[in-house]
Structure formats: structure tokens, C-alpha cells
Chains A and B, each alone.
Chain A
């Protein structure tokens, strides 16, 4: 009996370890992202935009892909982070990294407070409360013109060099490196989180929260925790945007941002972190291309893409990752083949 227990524990542990092992394609993605600094110096601005969007999408993936919370107002945290970073640099300190941390903390605190709203009710109630919170913040930013500049946005943000050493240049090279480093650091941390026992218990809650509860996993505290973490991530993404552009417009709280980030995650696939990254690349290129062809009506095509994706089936778009070397299903297939060879 005791032997059995240790065996199970051992199995679970090795499963967790193998899930957190680095895959070849993950390393390849990061190499490409770093190589872009040198290969595409003229595209640094759009690359920065992609990095920020990717971070934002990863933050949504943490709650949508792992905890199963559908949020229609995730931009609340993004916008809050942007405004916090902007105001921080105007009134407290102009060094970007302290500003980033401050914005993340403020956004995380707000996420912690609002996480209690998503605990209760059905999908619809969650949709409405997240949407409502985002609209509330947008209205607040619009009305409190003495603080936020109202509809004109936050002007006059000064950003000094990072740690006093690296100055933001005109071509956005420093900006991209800065955003990429933050993105890498936070993605590695997110990997640790989702591959830990905590991440595993989140997946259990997503599958069936009642069963998870009966197994002794309390959904409440875990959802609060992951929602707060996700809010911090989104806040940092917003802060990056504010610092690199030295400007915050009320647009950071607009509804279409929440919809965009959902689309990004849907294009890339939810529930494995890199979906946000891949989706951000595809989405940004697509939007750039569409807004060149039809500057005013690109939204039409974005909408069409959404509908097609849903009708064809989301999982079909993300099945490609099963064919990558070292993926879960490949491993399972290999193990099955090995077992079949041994059995006769």
C-alpha cells in the first residue's frame, strides 16, 4: 500500500518535471526574437508592439487558458498599468524599472480586489462583471481629467535611461530590447507557475471545479491568486506601452483592446503560454497588412477571421503544436509504440 503511494507520487512528480522541460521549439522562438534585434533593426517599433501585445495575451492566457475564466474586460488592468506608470514617472520617479514594478503592484492590487467578483456566478456573470469593471475604469479615466488628462490622454511623461544607463533611442531599439527582456523574464516565471503543482490544480479547477473541490483543492484561493498574478502581468504590459511611447491615451481602456487580446489568444491557442506570443505575431502582421489595404475597414476582416475561426473550430487551428518535436502527444505516441513492441 505504502509502496503504491510513493509510486504514484513519483509518477506525478516525473510528469510535472517532464512538462516543465525546455522544448526545442521554445528555445527556437526566443532565439528568433533575440535575433530580430540585429536582423530587423528598422522594424523595432512594430516588434515592440508585438512584444507588449504578447505579454498582455500571456496574462489573459493565465486566467483563460489555465483557470477557464472568460474575461471581456481584461484591458482594465492593462490600462490601469499604463496610467499608473505614466503618473508614476510624472510625479514620483522617472526611472522606468521602478515605474514598471510600481505599475505591476498597483494593477495587481486592483486585480486582487476585483478577483472576488469573478468567483461567483456563471460565465455570463463573469463576462458582465469584468466588462463592467473595464467600462468603469474607462469612464473614470475620462471623467477625472485633472489626473488623467481626460480624452486628451496623459501628456508630458519623461522617461530617464533605464537604470541610468540605457537611453531610449529614436529608432526604438532600446525599447524593443527592454520590452523583450521583460517579456522573457515574465514568460519564464509564468512557465514556472503553470508547471508547478499550483498550475496543475488550476487545470483541475478549469476541468471541473466541483470535483476539484472534493479532492481537497480549494478553487477560491487559487482563482484569487492566479487572477492577481494575471493582473500584474497585464499591468506591466500596459506600463511598458506607456513608458516606451511616453504617452497614455484613453484608448488603452477601450473595449476593442479586450476583444483584440481575446482574438490574439484564439489565433495562437490558449492554455500553453506560447499561444499569446505566436498569436501576437500573427495578429500584428495581419493588422498591419489589413490597415494598409483598407485603412478604415480593417475591423471588418478581423471580425470575419473571428467568425471563421469559431465556425471551423478553435482546436483545429492549434493542432499544429502536436507535430512539434518533444510535444506531449508525440511523447505519448512514442510511449504507446514502445509498449506495443514490448508486449508480445
Chain B
């Protein structure tokens, strides 16, 4: 029972790291980016490549995945995304679906369609008992990393200069520009950060979620649930939503396997009917 709770928390934390980049682009920059999962997939494949082909230790692969996907995100933002910030939502949806399709077939072409495997270092394998609760070492590792990241992000957004510049740029781009804030640079950096976090999440999730070319579509719904249910006005909303989703999903799969993902979708639709702007949003907020 407590083990399931623990696994659910680990899963939810992972979902949060995967989705928090999306909550920034979607929530703060108002860009419907359905291709977010493609960045996560990129991070996962970077890890697989580095570990299996070049034998680099798992611990070094994580920052590697972050940096590579952040660069990828920055390049794509400069080249493509930037042009569509002002476009209609339909255009953004079409564009990002196109990007997902391209990513899926490109990965299929270069890496093949099979599931990718990595071997975790021995120090992260196995589980131990703590007060009668079976705790997987790798899951504990994920929880620690994600908790640090979540606290760091929250502090970065609320306490640092960059965070307040970002919030200013989002609230009113023109005025922010008038005050001498380089809005387009801030957006590019933010987008890169979000993509990098997705990549890191993908790297961490390779073992837990599995990795194949269909990853972006398979998990798209989870990311979107986290962001839409959590609301887009803060980091805490998506964080709580991700935890709830993780626990519900793990518990649902354990206790009611025949319903599959059914419950998750039903709950999402219900929440969106009752609170169209998410569970934790302020009324009238952006």
C-alpha cells in the first residue's frame, strides 16, 4: 500500500519534470506546444546513445541530456517557434503536430522502432526496506532530484531577477520591452530551459516509462493533463496535479488494471468541465 504510494509519488515527480517546461511555454507564453514530448524523447535517446555506444556513466548522461535538448530547443525556438508566438492556436497546433510526426519518423529511421534499454548503475538498482515500506533506490533518486528541481524552479521564478523579468515579459511584452528587457532573449532562454528539463525528464524516465519512437504521442496526454488540470498560473499547480496524476495512475493500474487509462481521461474531462481553467488557477488570472 505505502509502496504503491511511494511509486506513485516517484512517477508523479517524473511527470512534473517532464511537464513543467510545457507549463511554462503553454501557460506563460501561451503557445500550444504539442511537440513537447519530442524534446523529452530527444533527451531519452541522448542518454541511450551516450550510455550504450560510448559507455558514459549514467550520472553524466543526465546533464548531457539536459544540455543537448536545451540547445535543440534554443535552435528550434530561434528558427521556427519564434515566428508563431502571435499566430492563432490552430496554427500552433498544426505546426507542433507536424513537428511530432517528423520527430517520430526521424527517430524511427535512425534508431529503429524497438524499445530502448539502459542499464542503471548498480548503486541505483534494487530496493531496501525502510520501516516496512519497500523503497526502490532508483525511485528515491528520482524523487530527490525532482524535489530539488521543483524547489529550485519555484525560487528561480519568484526570487531571481530573471524570474521577474520573465513574468514582466509575459504579462505585457510591449511595456517590458519599453523598460529595456530583452523579451525575445528571455523567451528563447525560457524555452531552452523548458526543453532541457523535458530532456532531463526523458533521460530519467527511460527506465521507468520505456522509450520508443511513439513516446511523444503516448505521453502527450499526460503532459497536457498535468498542465491543464494544474492550471498555468504557477509552478505549484502543475506540481500538485502531477503528483495526483502519478499516484492515481499507479494505483489505478495496480488495483483496477482492466480499466486501463480510462479513469485518467474521465477524471480530466470532469475537472475541465467543473473548472475549465484548471484546479488551482485564480479566477481571471492569465
Contacts and interface: CB of A to CB of B under 8 A. Distances in A.
A139 B272 contact: no
B104 A299 contact: yes
B265 A139 contact: yes
Contacts of A213: none
Contacts of A121: 272, 276-277
B265 A136 contact: yes
B251 to A, nearest CB: 17
A262 B94 contact: yes
Given A262-B94, A304-B102, A297 B265 contact: no
Contacts of B258: 143
B221 A310 contact: no
Interface string B238-270: 000000000000000000001111100110110
Nearest to A262: B94
Residue from A117, A143, A307, A309 with most neighbouring chain B CB atoms (10 Å):
A307
Interface string B265-284: 11011001100110000000
A159 B225 CA distance: 41
B89 interface: yes
A337 to B, nearest CB: 33
A306 B94 contact: yes
A121 B272 CA distance: 8
Interface in B215-240: 217, 221, 224-225, 228
Given A120-B273, A123-B32, A125-B272, A309 B101 contact: no
B99 A70 contact: no
Contact of A259 (B26, B97, B103, B261): B97
A326 interface: no
Interface stretch (A93-101, A127-135, A280-288): A127-135
A236 B131 CA distance: 60
A181 interface: no
A263 interface: yes
Interface string A70-98: 10100000000000000000000000000
A197 interface: no
B228 A128 contact: yes
Given A120-B276, A128-B272, A311-B95, A303 B217 contact: no
A131 B227 CA distance: 14
A24 B258 CA distance: 56
Interface stretch (B5-13, B80-88, B160-168, B185-193): B80-88
A103 B210 CA distance: 38
Contacts of A5: none
A124 B265 contact: no
At the interface, is chain A mostly helix, strand, loop or mixed?
helix
A317 B224 CA distance: 31
Which bucket holds chain B's interface residue count? Answer: 35 or more
A139 B93 CA distance: 23
A311 B92 CA distance: 10
B225 to A, nearest CB: 8
A248 B273 CA distance: 31
Nearest to B278: A125
Contacts of B126: none
Interface string A266-299: 1000000000000000000000000000001111
Contact of A306 (B87, B95, B105): B95
A125 B276 contact: yes
Contacts of B106: 300
B171 interface: no
Interface string B105-118: 11011000000000
A128 B276 CA distance: 10
B224 A128 contact: yes
A128 B93 CA distance: 12
B260 A124 contact: no
B200 interface: no
B91 A314 contact: yes
Interface string A24-51: 0000000000000000000000000000
Given A123-B89, A125-B276, A314-B91, A131 B221 contact: yes
Contact of B101 (A64, A266, A299): A299
Nearest to A133: B269
Contacts of A343: none
A266 B94 contact: yes
A302 interface: yes
B100 interface: yes
A129 B265 CA distance: 9
A151 to B, nearest CB: 12
A305 interface: yes
B98 A139 contact: no
Contacts of B83: 311
A321 interface: no
8 contacts: A121-B277, A128-B272, A129-B272, A131-B221, A139-B265, A263-B94, A304-B102, A306-B98
Given A303-B98, A304-B98, A310-B95, 15 more contacts: A122-B277, A123-B89, A124-B89, A125-B276, A132-B265, A132-B272, A139-B262, A297-B105, A299-B102, A300-B101, A303-B101, A303-B102, A305-B98, A306-B101, A310-B91
Closest 4 interchain pairs by CB?
A306-B98, A303-B101, A121-B276, A300-B105
Interface of B: 26, 32, 80, 83-84, 87, 89-91, 93-95, 97-106, 108-109, 217, 221, 224-225, 228, 258-262, 265-266, 268-269, 272-273, 276-277
